[in-house]
Amino acid sequence: MDFLKTVGGKIVSGLVAVAVIGVAISWWQMDPETRQMLLSGTGRILSWLLVVIVVPWVSFFLIARVAKLESNAAGAVLVLLYTVIEALVLAWLFHWTIHGATAIVFFSAAALLAGVYNLFACDWIAEKVQ
């Protein structure tokens, strides 16, 4: 069994090394415009993720006020408000251009991810502040 683990580990390590070398060669041969486009898109996505992560934590006072209402509807409205604002920020970061099925699917998945994160983060914060 240990033999299979070591052989499997070496195969996976080799595949990862080949993938990294392939990506490095592709990056090196890529034209500057495409490289800039990829870096720009990646920066926008990372900045949006940072906004999604930080928003519930910097507005804990608002979450505490809603939690004191002891109303599921008020909590749902707050989570929905956060999610809609974050989805609008994402659309704005990409200049309001969400064209094509793939872009719509990724945008929808990102908004759903933000909504689920907001739900869990707000719920956890509400439990801690009460």
6 and 46: one domain? no
Mean pLDDT along residues 74-102: 91
Q: What end-to-end distance do the CA atoms of the chain give, in Å?
A: 52
Query: How far is C-alpha 80 from the chain's CA centre?
Result: 17
What is d(CA 57, CA 18) in angstroms, rounded to the nearest whole number?
41
Question: pLDDT band for position 108 (50/70/90)?
Answer: very high
- The reported pLDDT for the residue numbered 4 is 58
Q: Highest-confidence range of 25-29, 86-90, 95-99, by mean pLDDT?
A: 86-90
Q: Find the domain containing 13 and state its range.
A: 1-30
**43 shares a domain with 9:** no
Q: Are 13 and 45 within one domain?
A: no
Is residue 119 within 8 A of residue 79, CB to CB? The reply is: yes
**Could you tell me if 51 and 68 lie in one domain?**
yes
Residues sharing a CB contact under 8 Å with residue 48, sequence separation 6 or more, in sequence order? 86, 89, 90, 93, 110
Are 19 and 75 members of one domain?
A: no
Residues 61 and 117 in one domain: yes
Domain count, the chain: 2
Looking at the fold, whether 99 and 53 belong to one and the same domain comes out as yes
